[in-house]
Every structure is written in structure tokens, then in C-alpha cells.
Amino acid sequence: MRSATLLALFLPIPMFGQATAQNAAVKYLRADAALRQAYPLSTDGAQKLEKALESPLDEEDENLVRAADEALVELQHGANLKSCDWAISAEDGPLANTAHRGAISELVAVSGIRARIRFHNRDSRGAVDDMIAAMAATRHLSLDGSLASVLIAYRLETAVASILAQNLNLLSTPQLRELTVRLDALPSGSTLDKALEDEEISRSSLLLIANGATTRDELTHRLLTMAPALRSDRQFVEEIIDGCNGSVSGFLRCVQQQQTFASSWARRFVLTPEDFQKEYDSELSLASKANSVIRLLTPNFSRLRWAKAYIQTRRALLRSAIAIQVDGPKAVKEYVDPYDQKPFAYTHLTNGFRLESRLKEAQTAISLAVGTN
């Protein structure tokens, strides 16, 4: 459900609106409502718009950003605010409304498309404004306390940073220095280890569901109707309960053990991704044997640790690229790769350059190309 009523879904606005005046979430939801009123978006609008970020620009993109002007003004207002509260509480559990993820995805994509058009038209200042607003919105999205939103935010930020890098050669030296300052001023956002603490420990939806059951049948019913991730799969739910001695008390014990397990690993994100994965695989195997909740319902913490390494590397790549654009190839040493604490590999290209990390994602080295658009 997406319309002007989005605000009512998330944020009960007090009389005169004083308490929400400085909440970026309000601005973003207003922006998405304005976007949908001004431009027809399909139910999968967010996915289509994200694909359009990498597609050749066409007349439809021009029409989109023209119609989205009011929405993008609201987006930038939200991006300029420090506070962003999505008003999602532990009581919401697994049934919490997550339409704000689609709203931010749509707005970031439209802002990115307009930035591309502005870069093409040599309006570099306006394009950078769009880029910074989009990045701030992704950081704000990550603050809702969920792992999914942090991962979505990382994906969106990666797409925006790629557009920015491709066009760094269009910025003057003063603009590049200002860009560095503006990047430093972005909201820090959440991290996967923090979201792990929030989602799996502080507000465990499984614990919330199980606490209302007194019999196995009640527990089964509650899991089938209150846990969307289980997809109403009775056989799967029965397998989980059977793996916890077939009782409510056994299930509660399994969930509490899962919380302890998650808490332990949230604190170990300081390990390198390789060390984390090695230790995690070993401990997960042992913990899963007598606990079906850990075995079947625990997110892959090792993948989360790698995802954090990827975004840290990509952010450092962008900073290094800006420094090189200002001071030349010798500046490659100013920002080291967080993965191995060594300078990125620098390759000169016809119209720019490429920076490459030793860190690989899906067997491909993470890299950033400048001046290739």
C-alpha cells in the first residue's frame, strides 16, 4: 500500500506537527507520496527504477525527473536532517510495515537518475546535491533496526557511489574538496553488527510470538500466522518445533540460545572476514546440532560480515578516487584498503583511471572506475 496515507502507517503526527518537524522519515514518506501522485509507478517501481540507474538515459527519464521535482525537494529536506525515526518498535514484530524500504529505494533511484541527467548537462553542482541527498537517505534507511534495511542501504549506496565516481572528472578542484567535506558530514547510519543486535537480540520476533503460546498447537498457529518468513509452511514449522523437544518451553529455550549465539557473533565483527567465517562455520555446526532455531532460522552471520567488508572497501575506494582526482596518482597512498591496509591498485585509463581492491565479491575484485561515463 503506497499513497499519501503512508504517513499514517508509520508516524502518528501530533497536533501542530512539532514532534515530527525534524524527523527525516516524515520528509521521505511525504516525498514518496508526492512522487506517486506525480508519476505512475508500478508495484515493482523500486526495482525498475534501480535498473534505470545503469541504463542509457532516454526521454522517459527526463519526464520522470520533471514530474518528480516536488518529491526530490522533499527528499533533500529529509537528507539535511540529522534525526530519522521510522517508529518501528519491538511490539511490531515480524508484521511491522516495511513499505519505507520501497519508498527510499524509489526516491534514491530517481535522485540518481536526475544526477546522471545533470552531469550530462554539465550541471555538476546540482548533480552532486542529488548524489549527497541520495546517500544520506540510504544511511537514514539503515536506522530502522533491521538487517534487511542495512543491506538494501548498502546496495543503494554502492549504485550511487558508482555514478558519482564515473563523473568525478567533471568536478573542479574546489568542488572535489567540498565533496569530501560533504561526504564526511553524511549520517553515519547503522551497521550490520548493530542491526544484528537490534533485530536478533533486542527485539526477537520469535520470542515475541512464542511468549503468547501455552500449547504446541497455539505455538504452531502463531508461527504460521505471525511469521511471514515461514511462508505458512506447516511442515517446516513442525520441524522447527520438533527440533526443540516439541514443546513451547523447548522452543523458548531454543530462541534464547539463539539470542546468546547472535550476541556473541555481533561482538566479533571486529575479526577479519576470513577469521570470522572460519570461527563461525565451526561454532554454527556445533550450536545447530541440538537447536533447530539456530540451524534453520539464523541468518548467515558470515555473509553479513563479508557485506560489511564490501561497503567499507567501497567507501574507501571513493575517498581515494577523489584524492587522486585532486592531486594525481601519487595520492593513491592517502587512503588504504580497509581489507589489507595497503593502497589500492591504480590503473590509468584513456579517460580516467580505475582503483581495485584485493577484496573479491563473487570472485571479482571490488573496483571503482573514474571518468568512464
pLDDT score recorded for residue 59: 93
Nine cell digits for residue 169: 572528472
- Reported as type and span, the H/E element at residue 367 is strand 364-370
Q: What is the pLDDT of residues 258-306, one digit of tens each?
A: 999 999 999 999 999 999 999 999 999 999 999 999 999 999 999 999 9
pLDDT score recorded for residue 52: 86
pLDDT score recorded for residue 190: 96
For residues 243 and 175, give the distance between their C-alpha atoms in angstroms, rounded to a whole number. Answer: 59
Nine cell digits for residue 226: 505471525
Q: What is the mean pLDDT of residues 73-90?
A: 90
User: What rounded mean pLDDT belongs to the chain?
Assistant: 91
pLDDT score recorded for residue 229: 83
Range from 18-32, 97-111, 147-161, 206-220 carrying the lowest mean pLDDT = 18-32
Q: What is the pLDDT of residues 332-357, one digit of tens each?
A: 998 999 999 999 999 999 889 999 99
Q: How confident is the model at residue 227 (pLDDT cuts 50, 70, 90)?
A: confident
- Reported as type and span, the H/E element at residue 237 is helix 234-242
For residues 150 and 136, give the distance between their C-alpha atoms in angstroms, rounded to a whole number. Answer: 13
Range from 53-62, 73-82, 122-131 carrying the lowest mean pLDDT = 53-62
Q: What percent of the chain has pLDDT over 90?
A: 79
Asked if residues 157 and 150 have their Cβ atoms less than 8 Å apart, the reply is: no
Q: What percent of the chain has pLDDT over 70?
A: 92
Q: What is the pLDDT of residues 183-221, one digit of tens each?
A: 999 999 999 999 999 888 777 888 888 988 999 999 999
- Cα 1 to its chain centre, rounded Å, is 21
pLDDT score recorded for residue 6: 45
Report how many helices (DSSP H) and strands (DSSP E) the chain contains, helices first.
17, 3
* Domain positions in the chain: 6-190, 198-299, 313-370
